[in-house]
Amino acid sequence: MRIAFYAPLKPVDHPIPSGDRLVARLLVDALRRAGHEVVPMARLRSWDGGGEARRQARLERLGGKLARRLIRRIESGRVERPDLWLTYHLYHKAPDWIGPAVAAALSIPYGVVEASVAGKRAAGRWARPYRAVLEALGQADLVIGLNPADAEGVRPHLRPDAGHATLPPFLDGAPFAEAARDRERHRRVLAQRLGLDAAVPWLVAVGMMRPGDKLVSYRQLGVALDLLKGQFRHPRESGDDEGRKWHLLVVGDGAAKADVETALGPRATLLGALEPAAIVEVLAAADLMVWPAHNEAFGMALLEAQAAGLPVIAGNVGGVSAIVEDGETGILVPPGDIVGFAQAIAALLDDPARCRAMGEAAAFRAAKRHGLDAAARELDRLLRRLVP
């Protein structure tokens, strides 16, 4: 099947890494693994983070122009006709101004992977792109959700005959599993390079350092770690803070780096933005992933950590519970419960055997439920309902 692919929030070849770009790339990989030809059709970023009417109108015009150009090129034979249009990540800040028009003109199915509807945006600064999302959903033949929390808002806007399915978030777990098998070497090399004590538990956090939700997560993490050093001291801990030892490794960079450094303090080593292979090695070398996940959709970094054999302590927000099995592969804490977050970290630091058991369960679950091959099979099954 020839699939016309579009990611309005961030194209797959965007230079700045993010969870959204990662999922888009994984989606393309899974479709190709299933034997489909995936052709990116546009690079237009329809994202408007500030709710600016002039910018939204300009993006709508550009989208319409690109759609008409694509239709002409396909109908003239200069571009091979696709069997299906598939848009990844549709929401009010990044509507699809291209796909619905092209699919309608060519009479091909229109599919969406990952969509969300925030009813509070029906009026206000994002009212027009919000309506565009509803119009696209109304045309969609199939919507595949990665975050179960979005289904309730999306389903009422679909046609009665349209399909809706949930696909567990997925990744290529092979590099993480391989690195985990060589954990001691990765840990030894990283300890030597950074001057860290390999005998001390290493916590790890992965996230872009930008203002907004990410910075809130970093600040919550910093407060929780302060509580860990103070209110939740180890029973054997003396006044010099030497009883419970740990160190935090942080992967990420961005405009809010100085604020993150202030929030986390001297027990954190900021590694900056790393290439994917280096992130795999850091995760494999660590002991425990910690991330409050403020306002996260589901958090691909949490899934990557589990694939590397780490238990996860995270906020129970959005679709995080679809990735982290509370009490089995990690501990989920109510959103904003910083005291509970600190208590959860303390519980696993003080019980290394439980921490290791959760990490083993996390690796098993990631391989069994969230692998790329399983996603490829399910995507193929769902899309062939539209294009036999």
- pLDDT tier, 164 (very low <50, low <70, confident <90, very high otherwise): very high
| pLDDT given for residue 240 in this prediction | 41
What's the pLDDT tens digit per position in 245-295? 899 999 999 999 999 999 998 989 999 999 999 999 999 999 999 999 998
DSSP label of 328: T
The secondary structure of residue 209, as a DSSP letter, is -
User: What is the per-residue pLDDT across 90-145, written as a single tens digit (0 to 9) for each?
Assistant: 999 999 999 999 999 999 999 999 999 999 999 999 999 999 999 999 999 999 99
Strands 163-166 and 202-206: unpaired
SS3 153: helix
229 pLDDT tier (thresholds 50, 70, 90): confident
Strand 163-166's sheet: what is its strand order? 37-40, 2-6, 84-90, 110-115, 142-145, 163-166
Domain 2-170+371-383 has CATH 3.40.50.2000: yes
Half-sphere exposure of 296 (CA within 13 A, CB side): 32
From CA 125, how far away is CA 180, in angstroms rounded? Answer: 46
Per CATH, 2-170+371-383 and 174-369 having the same topology is answered yes
**What's residue 62's pLDDT?**
98
**Stated length of the chain:** 388
* Residue 233 CB burial class (10 angstroms; 0-12, 13-18, ≥19): middle
What Rg value do the Cα atoms of the chain yield, rounded? 22
Instruction: Please provide the DSSP assignment of 44-101 as one string.
Output: -----SS--HHHHHHHHHHHHHHHHHHHHHHHTTSSPPPSEEEEEEEBTTB--SSHHH
Residue appearing with tokens 């109510």:
334
pLDDT tier, 239 (very low <50, low <70, confident <90, very high otherwise): very low
Render pLDDT for 330-388 as a digit per residue (tens, 0 to 9): 999 999 999 999 999 999 999 999 999 999 999 999 999 999 999 999 999 999 999 97
- Domain ranges (residues) in the chain: 2-170+371-383, 174-369
Strand partners, 270: 250
DSSP H or E stretch at residue 135: helix 127-139
The predicted pLDDT at position 40 comes to: 96
- In this prediction, residues 298-318 reach a mean pLDDT of 94
What is residue 241's predicted lDDT score, i.e. its pLDDT? 44
Structure tokens at 126: 């994002």
Q: What pLDDT does 148 receive?
A: 87
Q: In the predicted model, what is the mean pLDDT of the chain?
A: 94
Give the lowest-confidence range in 166-170, 238-242, 339-343.
Answer: 238-242
| Nearest Cα residue to 339 out of 244, 193, 255, 223 | 223
Tell me the C-alpha distance between 203 and 346, whole Å: 11
CATH superfamily of the 174-369 domain: Glycogen Phosphorylase B; (3.40.50.2000)
Closest CA to 217 of 314, 312, 322, 334: 314
- pTM equals 0.83
Q: Look at residue 234 in the predicted model and tell me its pLDDT.
A: 56
Residue given tokens 């489909």 in the structure block: 36
